[in-house]
Amino acid sequence: MESRWQKEITYVNNEEYLFDAEMNVAHWGLNKRAKNELEITVPDSLVANLSIAVTDRGIDADTSENIISGLLLSGEIRGRINNPAYYFRNNSDSVLKNLDLVMLTHGWRKINWEKLSRNEMPEIKYPKDSGYLSFSGRIFGASPIQLRDAGSIVVLFNSKGNPNNIVNMPISPDGTFGDPNLILFDTTKVYYQLPKSKGLGDASVKFMQDRFPPLANTEKATGYFYNPLADTSGNHRHFLLADAAINDQRFSKAKTLETVTIKKREKSAVEVLDEKYASGMFSGADGYQFDVLNDPFSTASMNIFNYLQGKVPGLQVNTTSNPPTLVWRGGAPGIYLNEMPTDADMISTIPVSDVAYIKVLRPPFLGASGGGNGAIAIYTRKGGDVQQQPGKGLSNNTITGYTAIRQFYAPDYSTIQEGQDKRDLRTTLYWNPEIITEPGKNVFKLTFYNNDISEAFRVTIQGMTRDGRLTSVVKIME
């Protein structure tokens, strides 16, 4: 029985899965840093997603696999297939015969044809993924009774694009929680607090438990073996270009060190505070400056007058009186709170933890009433100076979401820009992984500039339509 099913296996390559993507060179530019323009056209009736790469023709390129062979052959059967893209190059008799031989030696092992003959379909192990990489978690170390009416978990997300976002998430009876609409990018610090009133104070939380594990880079997992017959000529050119780029970088660094001298003086903390807080006659005046914001000993002072004791020569501070008194050069200096006149009684009520900066101005200070005996300017903290620590004291973990999108760098030689005097040794001249075409917008125009060494380009176009049709095109520009 098994032998009969084995002999009847064949691969029907009717090419109904294909669609055409045509490339037209609108402007040639094979000279150094010359401009090139390409037009990619797909049938006007299709909605397609394309990926386009333009590389130096001389570098190594793996042509043994493409989107068509990966989805329709090597990804569907077990075992290693040598050069799977070969079987989709054309529909000649020799290629079709060889493709049937591949099915005889590989295809029957994955599909149970006896069950298919009885109309028993294979079990779908991985259903369609509609949740994407959304946030989820699960509580461990709690009993079913505790989780039955646990309420909600408070989660605080701290990431680059979305700092300090607080969300309440209901806890399911099985201990899971999540938000399918919350998509995470890059690395996110997650703080959480469980409802202690429900007896969950000692429970722990694990996040993103339902994500797929990373694919192991092993021979067993991939089905591929190391191929010692590499493109030695292409690899050699790649190595030469890499060595040239490293030598240029070393030369550029050495040249910069010889001709450029950088001198920079960092502003002190009190200079920064003075620029931020002081204004008018209070700005830049002669006096003593105190960075209370970053003074670790400021918290040991009961009030501002205690903090100032012994810090200013000649300034007598009496903290035993109520309110405290100040004497400087035989008179009382003026007291200002955020540059507004005030008195010692008011200042004595302000906690030192609320103060960012104190400036004691020597007499005579023209801004003080009577011209008098100097002034003491006290500045309370602004919002940016309050060192907030979101989630402090809460349990936390770090999770990784989608990789943030990065734009491929390509220089524009139509304008003069900094750094263009360096040699251009790029091996990839253009790359765009997400080009969308649709009816009425079926022509995509792309522009790229040559480097300083390429004399021919390889243009690789791969993509898929909304209804699952595929294309894989490789063209040479020379």
CA dist 82 and 66 (Å) reads 13
Contact 123, 102 (CB under 8 A): no
Contact 78, 54 (CB under 8 A): no
Residue 475: both structure tokens together: 């063209």
3-state secondary structure of 451: coil
Q: Does 396 map to a domain?
A: no
CA dist 315 and 362 (Å) reads 10
Question: How many CB atoms sit inside 10 A of residue 281's CB?
Answer: 15
Contact 429, 11 (CB under 8 A): no
Residues 107 and 148 in one domain: no
Specify the pairing of strand 428-437 against strand 176-183.
unpaired
> Nearest CA to 373 among 316, 334, 319?
334
Q: Does 254 map to a domain?
A: no
Residue 109: both structure tokens together: 């092992």
Q: Does 230 map to a domain?
A: no
Residue 60: both structure tokens together: 């190594």
CA dist 347 and 356 (Å) reads 14
Helix (H) or strand (E) holding 204: strand 204-207
Q: Can you give the pLDDT at residue 220?
A: 46
Residues 110 and 151 in one domain: no
Q: Can you give the pLDDT at residue 77?
A: 79
Q: Can you give the pLDDT at residue 226?
A: 43
Specify the pairing of strand 457-465 against strand 48-56.
antiparallel
Residues 49 and 10 in one domain: yes
pLDDT along the chain (478 residues), means of 10: 51 85 89 91 92 88 87 82 88 86 72 81 73 80 86 83 77 89 81 80 80 54 45 64 70 56 73 86 81 75 84 85 84 88 85 87 72 82 64 70 78 79 85 91 92 89 93 90
Q: Does 453 map to a domain?
A: yes
Q: Does 257 map to a domain?
A: no
Residues 7 and 114 in one domain: yes
Residues 156 and 61 in one domain: no
Q: Can you give the pLDDT at residue 264?
A: 65
Residues 97 and 138 in one domain: no
Structural domain count of the chain: 3
CATH number of the domain where residue 446 is located: 2.20.130.20
Q: Does 25 map to a domain?
A: yes
CA 78 to chain centre: 35
CATH number of the domain where residue 284 is located: 2.170.130.10
Q: Can you give the pLDDT at residue 363?
A: 80
Residues 82 and 166 in one domain: no
For residue 357, what are the domain limits? 269-385
Q: Which of 215, 233, 257 is the last residue of a domain?
A: 215
Q: Which of 322, 350, 385 is the last residue of a domain?
A: 385
Residues 359 and 434 in one domain: no
> Nearest CA to 473 among 74, 1, 89, 28?
89
Q: Which of 215, 235, 252 is the last residue of a domain?
A: 215
Contact 350, 304 (CB under 8 A): yes
Residues 79 and 143 in one domain: no
Q: Does 330 map to a domain?
A: yes
Q: Does 429 map to a domain?
A: yes
